[in-house]
Structure 1
Amino acid sequence: MTATATPVEGATALVTGGQQGLGKAIVDALLEAGAAKVYSTSRRPGTATDPRIAVVEADVTDGDSVRRLVEIAGDATIVVNNAGVLGGQSLLHDDVEDIRAVLETNLFGALRVTQAFAPKLAGRSGTIVNIASVLSWLPGFGSYGVSKAALWSATNSLRLELREQGTNVIGAYLGYTDTSMIADLDVPKNDPADVARQIVDGIISGAPEVLADDLTRQVHAPLFAAS
């Protein structure tokens, strides 16, 4: 069996870290594209005014929490691994446990969710989206950059492993995006709504990757020019 595109119209989706920033924009874009229901996770209890959104308290770094999430949201055919944290800038000087904590969310959190939901997606033309970064391919950004580079590699391997059960795996890559996480940085930023729409378009088309801005496309192009 080979992976195919996933319909969004009428679908049920899950977005981790979906209560703010890019995650919230992805929730909104899925609903705009016709999703019937979106589970939106947060580490804290929450509610939503839109009846199509179900807010679920979940922590992707906790195996028991992820298992409970599967019990609640196991009907999802679209799973977006968006939950993430920033980290320090120095692999040499930052405490190893602080570095490990960033990978625990950004890499292992996505893997936990993927492993938990993969059996539910088998044979259902589902899609998993991993939100990575242009920093997947650029050095000098400490534990955050390492976590996104590792997620890029994991995404490519998961795509191969899950293809036979008919599940597509999309890597979404983007530069600075206008969210609270980087609100203090005085740099050009993407509109989260635009990035989210591109991700939803990728789900619908069955794309393997979404390169959300010019910077990401420029960095990506020479890396794969020979392939």
Structure 2
Amino acid sequence: MKLEHTTAVVTGANRGLGRHIARQLRDRGANVFAGARNPDSVDLAGVTPLRLDITYPASVAAAASVGNAAILVNNAGVVTGSSLLGGELAHIRHEFETNFFGTLSVTRAFAPQLGEHAESYVLNILSAYSWLNVPFIGGYSASKAAEWSLTDGLRQDLAGQGTRVGGLYVALMDTDFSRVFDAPKEDPADVARLAVDAIENREFEVFADEESRSIRAGLPGGVEALYPSLSHASLSQASLSQEDQAR
């Protein structure tokens, strides 16, 4: 897909991965609208700041009035660190309102103008944890699983107008989102290059790290492959029950 002189909209473009993607698109010749709740926080030269809060319909509608977008990058998202049983329900709702409903709302708003182009593309920034639920961010994982399914649905809905929908999967990047994790992290600049390569090539899926590839490959193995600790726990419980019966 041609990027030069093509209009692209990136949500959550004032920091982290979104900022790097906006920069990459700019450097490859695209006309970039950098979405952020506070447009004054967009400090990237050569892009147009765009006021956009993806959780407010009026803000989404106003942002879509830019017109002529052929590329949409749904990058904006939140993680609250809420577990499914112990976390605040309001926090989990916020994750769904942003990661799922916000992504859907923005895509619906921009779909008509995307369809005006011979080629157009939507890239949803997903997560390796779309496929693997991590308990202490269980709400986030669940919302990303929903966004994964959303991506598959939009892919089919938009195919008829020539809009390709792709998903980018990554576990941990060196951004504000992952600062609580003590583990190796990908450089968001490297992930952004993969993201923009995927846009150019109109790819359906791009895996930005080995963990994403590994988890994706493990899906056919089912629950036992993805959550081996559950099998061990079941075996331990069975052993305890047999001991109780023997007493």
Choose the corresponding residue for 2:148, options 152, 158, 179: 152
Q: Which position in structure 1 is the counterpart of 2:108?
A: 115
Choose the corresponding residue for 2:53, options 53, 59, 79: 59
Q: Tell me the SS of whatever aligns to 1:77.
A: strand
Q: Is the 8 A contact 1:78 1:128 kept in 2?
A: yes
Q: Which structure has the greater CA radius of gyration?
A: 2
Q: Which position in structure 2 is the counterpart of 1:202?
A: 198
Q: Which range is displaced more, 161-170 or 176-185?
A: 176-185
Distance 2:166 2:94 in 1: 24
Q: Is the 8 A contact 2:82 2:91 kept in 1?
A: no
Q: How big is each residue's C-alpha offset from its partner over 1:36-60, in whole Å with a ceiling of 9 and x where there is no partner?
A: x11111111315452x300112100
Distance 2:161 2:218 in 1: 32
Q: Which position in structure 1 is the counterpart of 2:127?
A: 133
Q: Tell me the SS of whatever aligns to 2:186.
A: coil
Q: Is the 8 A contact 1:8 1:33 kept in 2?
A: yes
Q: How big is each residue's C-alpha offset from its partner over 1:179-225, in whole Å with a ceiling of 9 and x where there is no partner?
A: 12222422100010110111111111111011111110111123269
Amino acid at match of 1:44: N
Q: Is the 8 A contact 1:48 1:54 kept in 2?
A: no
Q: Which position in structure 1 is the counterpart of 2:25?
A: 30
Structure having greater relative contact order (Cα 8 Å, sep ≥ 6): 1
What is the identity percentage for the equivalent residue pairs of Structure 1 and Structure 2?
Answer: 43
Q: 1:123 to 1:223 in 2, by over 3 A?
A: farther
Normalization by structure 2: what TM-score? 0.84
Distance 1:44 1:147 in 2: 24
Q: Mapping of 1:31-110 within 5 angstroms?
A: 31-35=26-30, 37-46=31-40, 47-48=42-43, 50=45, 52-72=46-66, 74-110=67-103
Is 2:173 aligned against 1:173? Answer: no
Q: Which position in structure 2 is the counterpart of 1:3?
A: none
Choose the corresponding residue for 2:184, options 177, 184, 188: 188
Distance 2:148 2:126 in 1: 7
Provide the aligned C-alpha RMSD in A: 1.5
Q: Is the 8 A contact 1:88 1:144 kept in 2?
A: yes
Q: Is the 8 A contact 1:87 1:142 kept in 2?
A: no
Q: Which position in structure 1 is the counterpart of 2:218?
A: 222
Relative to total residues, which structure has the larger helix share, 1 or 2?
2
Amino acid at match of 1:59: D
Equivalenced residues, count = 217
Distance 1:95 1:119 in 2: 37
Q: Is the 8 A contact 2:52 2:60 kept in 1?
A: yes
Q: Which position in structure 1 is the counterpart of 2:157?
A: 161
Listed as ranges, the gaps of 5+ residues in structure 1 are 1-5
Distance 2:44 2:188 in 1: 21
Query: How far apart are residue 87 of structure 1 and its match?
Result: 2.0
Q: How big is each residue's C-alpha offset from its partner over 1:16-40, in whole Å with a ceiling of 9 and x where there is no partner?
A: 00010000010111122221x1111
